[in-house]
Structure 1
Amino acid sequence: MIVFPTHDWDDAYENGRNIPGGTEYPGPWVAPAEAFRAKARAELDVAYGPGARHRYDLFLPDGTPRGLFVFVHGGYWMALDKSYWSHLAAGAVAQGWACAMPSYDLCPDVRIAEITRQIGAAVTHAAGRVDGPLVLSGHSAGGHLVASMMCHDSPLPAAVRDRLRHVVSISGLHDLRPMLKTARNDTLKLDLESAEAGSPALKRPLPGVRATAWVGGGERQEFLRQARMLPVMWHGLGGPVVDVVEPDQHHFNVIDGLADPASPLMRHATGGIAAQ
């Protein structure tokens, strides 16, 4: 049962202090990410735009890729970069996919709408490098950003939209309006109009694209609610959309399955998608 909080919205969206060991993150990701980059077949810091953070890392399998898998990092649109997550490309690469991981500008230097456009540019640039079907995944704020790629006002050009097969939002934030009630909004600088305009759950999904809201069973109630919003709001409007609650996972380890080609998360993300 989801219990909806009625006060203290900062605590409702606070993960670090509410997960055992949560305040240690993102530290635990640094060493495995560095180790993976050191051994991977990769093109690092590929420019997709003019800014210093307009870069992505492209991890490649042996042989011709099955398609392109993209992972967009979280950090509430105001922290971190692609370097913390490189090891999560291991699952896609082992399955034969190329995997792109972009950085992007952060709030308050830019607004969320601009970050959304930047991710569209990054996906488009990487799709120009790798043929075949396209699967997008993202964590937390990154889940919001990839869900935005499959909305009716997606920044992706038509040719890239046509290749989009599955979007997996992991612990994603699909309704931005609660952010207005948090101290983070001092940095995000949302108002009601921009929060509504930037919320994937309030938009129409592209037809024919699968969508999954994947969330850990041990997450904050608001993240469980945010996951449930996509199938509730998008039911009957586009392609198949489901929410999946992975037992015993919290906000920080729910993404671990991306590193394992045989994990339930990776099997679900790429299952049934034929190479082109």
Structure 2
Amino acid sequence: MRTRGGGDLGALLTRYVEELRVRRYSVSSLEKARFELPRLIHHLRENGVSDARAVIEEHLVAYARHLERRRTRWGSPLTASSRASAISTMRRFFAFLVSREHILRDPAQAIPLPKIRRLPRGILTERQARRLVAAPFAGSRIGKRDRAILETLYGTGIRLGEAARADVSDLDLRGRVLLVRSGKGKKDRLVPVPGRAAVALDTYLIEARPELVKRLDPALFISRHGARLSLVGLRAVVQRHGRAMGVAVSPHALRHTCATHLLCGGADIRHVQELLGHRCLATTALYTRVAIKDLREVLA
């Protein structure tokens, strides 16, 4: 059996990203492909491989080891979750190449994923959470936007990708609900917007967003350049304000924090499951595996 067309990795990456876009894959999938795969291709080229047909399993094992040595911009090693995401993105790319007959064998299918600790990590105390959402400067447009972002993530527990996809039309401040579109599992859901988040969003929509947006963009959260705020931009907002208060915090940590605070406050686990958009109750139950005694100490 012969392969179809050329095997230049750069050209094939362009085709792959276009395929994801045409098939309406999530913003997260697109950004992971655009961010992580060029790094993989650069690594392969540095090791003398530029044709997909020449890639073998040993090359990708070496890349997985390279990820273990790679550092973030702040000098810390990549987390197991970040490395697993990079390898999963790599696997999907090579599976695509096989499915389109650009290569005959998949060299990535046997590359193992790093083991990820599944218990909630990075949970903030209620005091820390309140300090975090109050950290942005309320007198600036960006500060009002950042406050709305932090209140929304903490108050609703939505995923980062769901916040990035949100449009103004998805938000009903009068009814205090947000339509979360096409999240994991491809199922839309309505989530309640708590009072503090509703106030922050109302202030942002009236006083900041009109001055930030540069064209008819439906996005709820707008970048300083006037367009939809990307996943990278949203993550930077959370991490920047976390660092300012001396706490390492990620968007997913806010989701963990939201769920944990609700459960510790007596919320029904099935209601939390619906809020978070978990298809399986067992996923939500992970949050309850932290001992109640420890939670009381953490959240006191």
TM range (shorter): under 0.3
Report the structure, 1 or 2, having the larger strand content: 1
In our comparison, the structure showing a higher alpha carbon Rg is 2
Report the structure, 1 or 2, having the larger helix content: 2
Normalization by structure 1: what TM-score? Answer: 0.25
